Amino acid sequence: MTIKNVTIAGGGVLGSQIAFQTAFSGFNVTLYDINDGAIDHAKELLASYVPEYQAFYDDGDKATTVIDSMSFNTDLAQAVADADLVIEAIPESVKIKSEYYTELSKVAPEKTIFATNSSTFLPSQFVEYVDRPEKFLAIHFANQIWKNNNAEIMGHAGTADEYLDELVAFAKDIRMVPFRLYKEQHGYILNSLLVPLLDAAQKLWVNGVADPHTIDKSWMIATGAPQGPFAILDVVGLNTPYNLSLAKAEDDEEQARIVKALKEMIDAGKTGAAAGEGFYTYPNPEFMEDDFLK
């Protein structure tokens, strides 16, 4: 089967990026979300990517036509009526995802491949809610997909190899570098490496060992990395690490301190790069200045 029609379920930060990248690469894209307000927000996010693509890709000027080429729908059945592939990028909630996959299984054509972009959960956690377990797998993207172009492709024990192969080919077609995992792994490859780094950095901060900019400088000088962990947290957005720490805070005093510190920033509107301020101020964060590492 050749994938031509792709539906993205969820128009948040990453869902909108997946939709834009897929449409930019020539696929027929429908973006589904639960109401008109969510669709309007997704369109605002999509519009913000146009200058990024114009600056990043040699053929970036065609980004100006991407939004007009897409379809938008708040009715799931209509949104997936002719979908070859549906990529789910909805909130990281077992209840929400379970209900979504139950409904999707009722309305999606038999041909449709189901893929989750979940960063937190495994496909096997939702396989009981899908009617086609052999066509159910994960394809995970990094934020700022146009330049951080890795796609981690992971099945569960019952995923058929042909659909893993389909997703590898699809990832290449949307200008990603595919990484096929041999077994399920929480955090895939990237987050299995990244999350412990970000967690360690936050513990240094909330335990009063060093401030975020000092921690970033140390990491950047010692490793040659272009960003430190707190700059990465800004790109991710602080709501995600807050929710991850919140889930562990009940039995972990350090995680509780992280939750408290992040909540203070979130309540102040300092949620990361997309908001204009997090641990740094944007669009000209201090870590990009020539003398930051001196």
Confidence of residue 1 (pLDDT cuts 50, 70, 90): low
- pLDDT of 93 reads 87
Backbone phi, psi, residue 69, to 5°? -80, -15
Q: Hey, what amino acid is at 41?
A: H
pTM for the model stands at 0.86
Task: Give residue-wise pLDDT tens across range 175-230.
Answer: 999 999 999 999 999 999 999 999 999 999 999 999 999 999 999 999 999 999 99
Tell me 209's DSSP state.
Answer: S
| In the chain, ranges of CATH 3.40.50.720 domains | 5-181
CA distance 149 to 172: 10
CATH superfamily of 5-181: NAD(P)-binding Rossmann-like Domain (3.40.50.720)
- pLDDT of 32 reads 98
- pLDDT of 188 reads 96
Which single residue is written with the structure tokens 């890709």? Answer: 57
The answer to whether residue 122 scores a pLDDT higher than 70 is: yes
Confidence of residue 2 (pLDDT cuts 50, 70, 90): confident
Task: Give residue-wise pLDDT tens across range 44-102.
Answer: 999 999 999 999 999 999 999 999 999 999 999 999 999 999 999 998 889 999 999 99
For residue 223, give every residue at least 6 positions away whose Cβ sits within 8 Å of its Cβ, in sequence order, or none: none
Q: Are 286 and 213 in contact (CB under 8 A)?
A: yes
CATH architecture of 192-288: Orthogonal Bundle (1.10)
Backbone phi, psi, residue 5, to 5°? -105, 120
For residue 40, give every residue at least 6 positions away whose Cβ sits within 8 Å of its Cβ, in sequence order, or none: none
Q: Hey, what amino acid is at 259?
A: V
- pLDDT of 240 reads 85
Mean pLDDT over all residues of the chain? Answer: 96
Helix (H/G/I), strand (E/B), else coil: 8: strand
- pLDDT of 236 reads 87
| In the chain, ranges of CATH 1.10.1040.10 domains | 192-288
User: What percent of the chain lies above the pLDDT cut of 90?
Assistant: 93
- pLDDT of 247 reads 83
- pLDDT of 92 reads 84
CA distance 44 to 7: 18
